[in-house]
């Protein structure tokens, strides 16, 4: 919860006039903190920072055991019940840890900058951009490339990640 509290303070000092859309720096920090919390085992913080409904698409699982354990979660879905967020985040963390460790940048983006690798999700991301700040995390190492877009919403002094959409090349 310390991570979530620190993030809330940052967003409170950097919020835009629109209460539902955090500024670029605050949103990028929220996306990185959310991913870090889930990947590093601070699941309570990650769950607290996840809005519902939560949409995810493009989840990957690094090995057969993870893929089997997360078969019911799958690569895409929407979670409307906050009580069911934790198992989804536990599965997503299996694929986001490598992205977090390798991401060269965490940047707020506008819809024209949505990577072509996410073309299938573009329409929904553009709609989310009206009320959310989109944050792109990008990593490239040799023939492997990962993109993830997070939709971050502010509510008062709190930040919520309402969507995680990813694409991968070479995995």
Q: Tokens standing for 141?
A: 């190492």
Top-confidence residue, 13 or 94: 94
Q: What is the CATH number of the domain that holds 128?
A: 3.10.450
**In a domain? residue 148:** yes
Q: 2-14 and 24-39 are packed helices; what angle lies between their axes, rounded to 10 degrees?
A: 170
**In a domain? residue 65:** yes
Query: What's the pLDDT at 171?
Result: 73
**In a domain? residue 171:** no
Integer Cα distance of 78 and 56 in angstroms: 6
**In a domain? residue 64:** yes
The number of folded domains in the chain is 1
**What's the domain range around 120?**
2-166
**In a domain? residue 43:** yes
Judged by average pLDDT, the poorest of 10-24, 114-128, 134-148, 152-166 is: 10-24
Q: pLDDT digit string (tens) for 35-89?
A: 878 777 788 888 999 999 999 998 888 788 888 989 999 999 999 999 999 999 8
Whether residue 108 is predicted with pLDDT greater than 90 in this model: the reply is yes
Integer Cα distance of 42 and 119 in angstroms: 32
């Amino acid at each position: 919860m310390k991570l979530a509290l620190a993030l809330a303070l940052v967003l409170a000092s950097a919020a835009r006039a629109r209460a539902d859309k955090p500024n670029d720096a605050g949103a990028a920090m929220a996306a990185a903190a959310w991913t870090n919390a889930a990947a590093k085992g601070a699941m309570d913080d990650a769950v607290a920072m996840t809005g519902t409904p939560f949409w995810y698409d493009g989840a990957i699982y690094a090995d057969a055991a993870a893929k089997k354990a997360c078969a019911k979660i799958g690569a895409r879905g929407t979670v409307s019940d906050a009580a069911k967020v934790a198992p989804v985040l536990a599965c997503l963390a299996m694929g986001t840890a490598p992205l977090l460790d390798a991401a060269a940048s965490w940047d707020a983006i506008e819809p024209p900058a949505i990577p072509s690798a996410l073309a299938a999700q573009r329409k929904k991301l553009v709609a989310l951009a009206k009320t959310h700040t989109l944050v792109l995390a990008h990593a490239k190492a040799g023939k492997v490339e990962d993109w993830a877009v997070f939709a971050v919403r502010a509510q008062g002094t709190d930040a919520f990640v309402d969507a995680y959409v990813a694409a991968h090349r070479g995995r």
